[in-house]
Structure formats: structure tokens, C-alpha cells
Amino acid sequence: MTRASFSEPAVMADLMARMLWEIQAVHFSPDEPYKLSSGLVSPVYIDCRRLISFPRIRATLMDFAAAKIMSEAGFEQFDCVAGGETAGIPFAAFLADRLDLPMIYCRKKPKGYGKNAQIEGDLPEGARVLVIEDLTTAGGSMFNFIHAIRDAGGVVKHGMALFYYDIFSQAVQRFENGGVELHYIATWQNVLSVAREKKLFDERALDSVADFLDQPMAWSKARGGVDTLPV
């Protein structure tokens, strides 16, 4: 199913942001912010799992993901695609099909019975693995899967997140230290840009979201949330 079709990165980013708004995957709530599992208090929340329910959108995003990988990493750099439990699994299946590659998936931890497997599927020793997730904030969950795949004999030098927060310095450091190049399609700045263009919220709300994106830790701390993320 491999096809080579390349759009400008800025076009792909803008279109994905519009898709997320169209399917109501984006939530802004500056006055009643969300508390995330990390303890971070945030005025924004995104549900990329919704993408699997929209065939035309998910097919277009897999075209975008394939284009990003082939243009930024290369055409023959991978032996399989891996998805992390649970949100990354369907996207690994979609992208593996798009790239004509085998697929595996990785549990958050060994399942605890039977063969006690953490990696499901066929992972040959030395296989070059592309790890994909629906989104990444600071890279913590992706690296849990990367470490498991490496421990099982796979080689991971590239990760793919359809959506990347791109607001945490810890993320940049984590990927550099881990020897992984992160590829992604859209970020919160793209989503905010579409919201401003379409006037989806009043300016006060949009400015509050912009403040969070510029200084997420300070924004969180001022509202009772954590001011550091787990390493």
C-alpha cells in the first residue's frame, strides 16, 4: 500500500489541527482547568483516540505520517512498526499497513502470566523499530515502550507522535539523551492558531491558553498543580 505523496509540513500541521477541531477532540477550559495524571494543571486537553472513528481523517493522517517518516528518516529504515498499549496500537496497525511493514505492540508491563510477554508479535533480534503513539507530552510513556523494545532486542532510533505538545523542555532533553529522533505532525500552537483564525473562543480564553503554552509549569503552579514533570 506504500505511496509516496509529500505535502509541506506546515500544510499537514494546519490540516491536522483543523481535523482535531472538526471531530471535537480539542477542549479548552481556562476557567476550570484539567488536572492531568502527571499532576499538571492545564487549560487544554486533547483526545486523539477519537481519530480512529473517522476513516477519511485517519487515512489522511496516515498519509501525513508516512510522508513525515519517509522524508525525515528515510524510505528503507525500518523493519516493523510498534504501538504502545493502548492508544498507540491502532495507529501502529494503520501505519504498518500504509508502509507495508510488520507490526508489533508493547504492553505497559509484562502481562504476568503465560509467557509473561511484554512485546506481542514477531520481533527479530536487531530489528529496526519505529514506535508510534497518538500523542506525546514529554515522552515519558513512549520511552517506557522504547526501553522494553530495546530490552527485547529491537533497535529504536525514531519515534512518531501524531500530536506533540512541544511545550516542555524536558521532552527535548529526553529524546536527545535517549538517542531517538521524534517525528510529529501537529502541535498545540497549530491548534491554537486555528482557534484564533476561526474565533472558536473569546480572546481572554485564547490568551490564557497561549500563556499556558508559553509557561506551562508556571501556569500550573499558580493554579495548584505541579511545577515539574516526572523524569
Residue 230 lies in a domain: no
Burial of 117 (0-12, 13-18, 19+ CB in 10 A): middle
Q: What is the mean pLDDT of residues 2-13?
A: 81
Residue 217 lies in a domain: yes
Residue 129 lies in a domain: yes
Which helix or strand (DSSP H or E) is residue 140 part of?
helix 140-151
pLDDT at residue 116 tops 90: no
Residue 3 lies in a domain: no
Residue 2 lies in a domain: no
Counted domains in the chain: 1
Strand 119-120 with 103-106, pairing: antiparallel
Q: What does the angle CA 155 – CA 187 – CA 193 come to, to the nearest 5 degrees?
A: 165
Q: What is the mean pLDDT of residues 122-131?
A: 97
Q: What are phi and psi of 140, to 5 degrees?
A: -60, -50
Residues 30-48 have pLDDT tens digits of 999 998 878 889 999 999 9
Residue 229 lies in a domain: no
Residue 1 lies in a domain: no
Residues 44-84 have pLDDT tens digits of 999 999 999 999 999 999 999 999 999 999 999 999 999 99
Range of the domain at 128: 9-222
What's the predicted TM-score (pTM) here? 0.93
Residues 89-104 have pLDDT tens digits of 999 999 999 999 999 9
Residue 127 lies in a domain: yes
pLDDT at residue 118 tops 70: yes
pLDDT at residue 5 tops 80: no
Find the CATH number of the domain harbouring 97. Answer: 3.40.50.2020
**pLDDT > 90 in the chain, percent:** 85
